[in-house]
Structure 1
Amino acid sequence: MFDGPEPIYVQIAAWVRTQILAGDLADGDQVMSTTQLSTTFRLNPATAAKAYAGLVDEGLLVKRRGIGMFVADGARDALLAEHRRTFYTDVLDPALDRAALLGIPVDELVDHIRGHARTTPGGDPR
């Protein structure tokens, strides 16, 4: 599962962030212990601990001494806000620049976005 080019602790943190964004982990939910995580994915427990420590530093997880790690209140909202801030500059602006190079008219782009939204669960075709 964690076989990308990034360090494993970075991949673990990204995996937890994705679970929070997707709603698979909600505010207050307990996450796997570092022992469970390391056993399940055959990882060094120190690697799992490093990933969790980074998420605690980001304010996405909280440690309850003697109980475990939990998703912090507002973690999903914080991640959504962060991803929305960077979406335009990292994703949409380069795509629009490419569309301009290809000569795709703005109206055609808007029509495509609306059509895509109609077929996407939760999409807003306005």
Structure 2
Amino acid sequence: MFDGPEPIYVQIAEHLRRQVLDGTLAPGDQVMSTTQFATTYRINPATTAKAFNLLVDEGVLYKQRGLGMYVAEGARERLRERRQADFFTDRLDTVLDEARTLGIGEDELISYIRKGAGR
């Protein structure tokens, strides 16, 4: 499952972020313990802990001492806001620069976006 080019802890964090974004994990839901996660996916518990701590630092998860890790209130909204900002700066700006280089005008771009949005 975690066989991409990024470090495994980054892939684990992204997997959990996606679950929060798509609603599989809701605010207040408990996530697997690091040991359970590591056992289930056959990875090092320290790698899992690193991913979980990254998500705690981001405000996606919170620790409840002696009980485990839970999805934080507002985590989905925070992730969505970050992703939208990243989308515009990391992806759309690059596309717009390329469109300018290729001579693709605003009207053509808008037309293409409208067609794609209807799919």
Asked whether the two chains share a fold, i.e. TM above 0.5, the reply is yes
Report sequence identity in percent: 61
- In the other structure, the counterpart of 2:74 is 74
SS in 2 for 1:62: strand
- TM-score, length of structure 2 as denominator length: 0.92
- In the other structure, the counterpart of 1:24 is 24
CA distance in structure 2 between the aligned counterparts of 1:90 and 1:46, rounded to whole angstroms: 31
Displacement of 1:5 in angstroms is: 2.4
- In the other structure, the counterpart of 1:36 is 36
CA distance in structure 2 between the aligned counterparts of 1:54 and 1:86, rounded to whole angstroms: 18
Displacement of 1:6 in angstroms is: 2.1
**1:68-109 deviation digits (Å, cap 9, x = unpaired):** 111000001001111112221111111011111122221111
CA distance in structure 2 between the aligned counterparts of 1:73 and 1:80, rounded to whole angstroms: 13
Displacement of 1:39 in angstroms is: 1.0
Moved over 3 A (4+): none
- Give the root-mean-square deviation of aligned CA atoms: 1.2
- TM-score, length of structure 1 as denominator length: 0.88
SS in 1 for 2:118: helix
CA distance in structure 1 between the aligned counterparts of 2:36 and 2:101, rounded to whole angstroms: 50
Letter in 1 for 2:15: W
Gaps (5+ residues) in structure 2? none
**1:53-80 deviation digits (Å, cap 9, x = unpaired):** 1111111101112221110000010011
